[in-house]
């Protein structure tokens, strides 16, 4: 600052960053920036794969599309992938909108899955199917809620850092699953044989149809809840400014705890769908990082559940596409992670151009004249 | 007992390097959730460099170079990831949590790719890292406990102590802490906030990269394993566990190491019970997190602007 006073013109930097007034940013500008970022990311990862796989880039993209849309089985897998990722994303969204950094969806989903699988294993034979389904649902949802409630209570009453708390809870859940598998799988292999006989019913002859439909309903429900309900409004206010919320008489503690309970409950549904409706078994990697990817999905869509359908599709497309590339061109399957990482960074980075403007300093211009 | 302690300390040093790196970063106000990815990349770069070196020289290996080259590679690999993180969070001012998570995804993928291009066994190279001082065995159990380690244990201790000294006793450390606590005030005092944040993140990530390499080359004796990132999360936990103090982290890392390996040394723990034991470091961290937040002691709090990007023109 003091330098500027001394020799204002000489030391004014050439480029200068100004915050955009969010009211003046048009929707098509936002759309263009994001589209450019995604295209650039696809271009960069395409070039990278082309170099690594020494293949024709058009073939590379072709293989990607083929991996996702190539057959009706692949399309169903894609739909299932989108549905599952979207479900976890829906779960984290209310919390994030409230600026509660819940990075523990991974653990919340996993513990619900564990609760679900335990119910299937121990109670499967003791009751009729319909009752079993109800018990499975209740138990899974409760497990997810408990896992979310703990950090929420401590955040609300003692301001305990929720990012780190929820992160640690993930690994507690992972270890519980590891312990469960070793303690209760009778043959000692640590791998639980799937139990499709106790799973969710298959409708329309398609294994994943029920999951997809349920998640679609859930998406709309969360959208309406956040957009049109009083609770949704309170969440937005707490997220924008806790002080404002307190000033207008919102009980912040109550909102934090309630929102996390909802978040946990949706994680419970995700656990139910993953275990009861998809795998019919559990392992420590059942959730497979969805809890973390979901944060991206939700954040990229600006916490709007309808946009989240697109962002989760984008991520699943990349994941499945890169897997196809790695089989087609015989390169390490880790390429999927690399491509996802690159694309995420591009989309995260483009946020800068939505928030700020780079301007060439006026003083400097005059100086140049 | 001795074997247990030695094993705990060897693993502990991986945590120590990771957490010291993360502490440096967090002191500048950056919550870098990319540390697991950074540690993976550090480990992979180090291993790849070792692989290249061994293929290049064949049988005439110079021990000093066999240690130095991977070390520098891991340091650089980590620092580059740090540079990437700071470019996004400092220059582009985007959210640190999402950037960190993306860096972890990218880092895990990159490390697996790098390793798939080399090999998964580095036992030959690992020998140079685990070689103890020659007189260690002669001094009995005391010698084994104090002098019986490879270079990483001493390196980690030196880095942790140096970091503590620099953070608390030097002007650079004071400035760094100021940047983490309140960047606007630091800026007004004439401290170059972006520079400090860039530098701290790169140095911190470099150190964490070394941590990743130490896990493979020291603790696992050169056998690559795809779980470096799990260790990375524990390193972040350790930062909280030791309330942002690298000198406490020396003890804390040994405790973490001990908790992690305890199940293998306590007789009568079942196959399944081991998994419950591995849960302990996380549970202990949660407890520490709760206790520190309840006690509200000022010297045990995270840096005040942790996780927030700084923009001078914000009000």
| Structure-block tokens of residue B256 | 């973490």
Domain CATH number, residue B210? 1.10.3470
Nearest residue in A to B37, CA atom: A341
Nearest residue in A to B105, CA atom: A341
| Structure-block tokens of residue A38 | 């995604």
Residue in the block written with tokens 């400097």: A364
Smallest Cβ–Cβ distance between A334 and the set B112, B188, B293 belongs to B112
Choose among B252, B210, B251: nearest CA to B234. Answer: B252
The dihedral region occupied by B276, where left means phi > 0, alpha psi between -120 and 50, and beta the remainder, is alpha
Flag whether residue A182 sits within 8 Å of chain B, measured between CB atoms.
Answer: yes
What is the separation, in whole angstroms, between the first and last Cα of chain A?
24
Q: Distance (Å) from the C-alpha of residue A204 to the closest C-alpha of chain B?
A: 36
Inside any domain, residue B272: no
Inside any domain, residue B100: yes
Q: State pLDDT tens for residues A210-229.
A: 888 999 999 999 999 999 99
Flag whether residue B315 sits within 8 Å of chain A, measured between CB atoms.
Answer: no
The dihedral region occupied by A70, where left means phi > 0, alpha psi between -120 and 50, and beta the remainder, is alpha
Average model confidence (pLDDT) across chain A: 84
Q: Distance (Å) from the C-alpha of residue B269 to the closest C-alpha of chain A?
A: 12
Flag whether residue A159 sits within 8 Å of chain B, measured between CB atoms.
Answer: yes
| Structure-block tokens of residue B258 | 């001990």
User: What is the pLDDT, as a whole number, of residue A10?
Assistant: 53
How many domains does chain B contain in total? Answer: 1
Highest mean pLDDT among A108-117, A179-188, B267-276: A108-117
Flag whether residue B31 sits within 8 Å of chain A, measured between CB atoms.
Answer: yes
CB contacts of B233 in chain A (<8 Å) are: 167, 171
Choose among B65, B52, B192: nearest CA to B122. Answer: B52
Flag whether residue A101 sits within 8 Å of chain B, measured between CB atoms.
Answer: yes
How many Å apart are CA A160 and CA A164, to the nearest integer?
Answer: 9
Mutate which: A13, A174, A175, A288, vs B, most B CBs within 10 A: A175
Inside any domain, residue B129: yes
Nearest residue in A to B89, CA atom: A349
Inside any domain, residue B46: yes
Mutate which: B243, B279, B307, vs A, most A CBs within 10 A: B279
Smallest Cβ–Cβ distance between A154 and the set B275, B293, B302 belongs to B293
Inside any domain, residue B308: no
Inside any domain, residue B64: yes
Nearest residue in B to A330, CA atom: B116
Q: State pLDDT tens for residues A230-264.
A: 999 999 898 888 888 888 888 889 999 999 999 99
**Domain limits at B81?**
2-135+144-266+277-300
Flag whether residue A168 sits within 8 Å of chain B, measured between CB atoms.
Answer: yes
pLDDT higher than threshold 70 for residue B278:
yes
Inside any domain, residue B313: no
In this prediction the pTM is 0.85
Q: State pLDDT tens for residues A308-329.
A: 999 899 889 888 888 888 888 8
Flag whether residue A299 sits within 8 Å of chain B, measured between CB atoms.
Answer: yes
Please report which confidence band the pLDDT of residue B134 belongs to, taking 50, 70 and 90 as the band edges. low
Please report which confidence band the pLDDT of residue A368 belongs to, taking 50, 70 and 90 as the band edges. very low
Q: Distance (Å) from the C-alpha of residue B41 to the closest C-alpha of chain A?
A: 12
CB contacts of A339 in chain B (<8 Å) are: 109
Q: State pLDDT tens for residues A329-361.
A: 887 778 878 888 888 888 888 888 888 878 776
Judged by CB atoms closer than 8 Å, whether chains meet at B98 and A295 is answered as yes
Smallest Cβ–Cβ distance between A335 and the set B31, B113, B302 belongs to B113
Inside any domain, residue B315: no
Mutate which: B188, B194, B227, B289, vs A, most A CBs within 10 A: B289
Mutate which: A179, A333, A340, vs B, most B CBs within 10 A: A179
Looking at residue A184, the DSSP 8-state letter turns out to be H
Looking at residue A197, the DSSP 8-state letter turns out to be G
């Amino acid at each position: 600052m003091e330098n500027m006073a001394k020799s204002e013109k000489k030391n004014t930097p050439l480029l200068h960053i100004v915050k955009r007034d969010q009211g003046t940013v048009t929707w098509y500008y936002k759309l263009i920036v994001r589209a450019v970022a995604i295209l650039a990311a696809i271009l960069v990862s395409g070039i990278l794969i082309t170099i690594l796989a020494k293949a024709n880039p058009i073939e590379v993209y072709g293989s990607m599309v083929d991996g996702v849309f190539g057959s009706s089985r692949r399309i169903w897998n894609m739909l299932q992938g989108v549905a599952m990722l979207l479900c976890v994303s829906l779960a984290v969204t209310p919390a994030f909108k409230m600026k509660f950094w819940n990075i523990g969806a991974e653990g919340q989903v996993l513990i619900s899955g564990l609760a679900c699988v335990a119910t299937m294993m121990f109670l499967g034979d003791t009751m009729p199917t319909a009752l079993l389904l109800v018990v499975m649902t209740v138990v899974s949802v409760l497990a997810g809620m408990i896992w979310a409630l703990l950090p929420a209570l401590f955040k609300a009453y003692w301001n305990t850092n929720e990012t780190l708390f929820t992160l640690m809870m993930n690994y507690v859940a992972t270890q519980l699953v590891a312990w469960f598998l070793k303690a209760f799988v009778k043959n000692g292999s640590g791998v639980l044989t799937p139990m499709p006989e106790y799973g969710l019913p298959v409708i329309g002859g398609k294994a994943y149809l029920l999951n997809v439909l349920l998640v679609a309903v859930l998406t709309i429900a969360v959208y309406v809840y956040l957009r049109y309900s009083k609770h949704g409004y309170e969440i937005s206010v707490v997220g924008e400014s806790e002080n404002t919320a307190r000033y207008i008489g919102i009980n912040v503690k109550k909102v934090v705890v309630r929102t996390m309970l909802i978040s946990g409950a949706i994680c419970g549904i995700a656990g139910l769908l993953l275990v009861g409706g998809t795998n019919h078994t559990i392992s420590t990697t059942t959730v497979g990082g969805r809890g973390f990817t979901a944060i991206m999905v939700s954040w990229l869509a600006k916490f709007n559940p309808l946009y989240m359908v697109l962002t989760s599709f984008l991520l699943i497309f990349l994941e499945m596409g890169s897997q196809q590339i790695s089989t087609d061109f015989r390169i390490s399957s880790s390429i999927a992670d690399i491509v996802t990482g690159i694309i995420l960074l591009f989309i995260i980075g483009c946020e800068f151009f939505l928030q700020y403007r780079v301007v060439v300093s006026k003083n400097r211009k005059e100086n140049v004249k | 007992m001795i074997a247990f302690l030695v094993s705990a300390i060897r693993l502990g040093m991986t945590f120590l390097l990771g957490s010291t790196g993360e502490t440096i970063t967090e002191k500048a106000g950056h919550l870098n959730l990319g540390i697991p990815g950074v540690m993976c990349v550090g480990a992979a770069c180090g291993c790849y460099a070792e692989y290249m070196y061994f293929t290049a020289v064949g049988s005439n290996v110079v021990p000093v170079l066999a240690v130095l080259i991977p070390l520098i590679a891991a340091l650089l690999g980590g620092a580059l990831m740090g540079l990437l993180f700071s470019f996004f969070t400092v220059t582009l001012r985007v959210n640190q949590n999402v950037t960190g998570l993306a860096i972890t995804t990218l880092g895990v993928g990159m490390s697996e790719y790098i390793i798939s291009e080399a090999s998964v066994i580095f036992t030959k190279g690992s020998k140079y890292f685990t070689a103890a001082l020659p007189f260690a065995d002669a001094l009995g159990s005391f010698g084994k406990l104090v002098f019986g380690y490879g270079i990483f244990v001493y390196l980690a201790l030196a880095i942790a102590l140096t970091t503590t000294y620099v953070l608390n006793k030097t002007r650079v450390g004071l400035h760094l802490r100021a940047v983490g606590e309140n960047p606007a005030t630091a800026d007004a005092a004439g401290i170059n906030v972006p520079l400090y944040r860039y530098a701290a993140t790169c140095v911190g990530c470099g150190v964490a990269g070394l941590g990743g390499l130490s896990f493979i080359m020291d603790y696992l004796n050169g056998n690559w394993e795809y779980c470096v990132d799990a260790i990375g999360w524990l390193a972040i936990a350790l930062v909280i566990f030791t309330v942002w103090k690298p000198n406490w982290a020396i003890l804390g890392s040994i405790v973490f190491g001990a908790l992690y390996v305890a199940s293998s040394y306590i007789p009568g723990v079942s196959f399944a019970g081991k998994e419950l034991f591995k849960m302990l470091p996380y549970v202990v961290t949660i407890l520490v997190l709760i206790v520190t937040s309840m006690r509200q002691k000022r010297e045990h709090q995270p840096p005040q602007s942790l996780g927030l990007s700084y923009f001078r023109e914000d009000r």
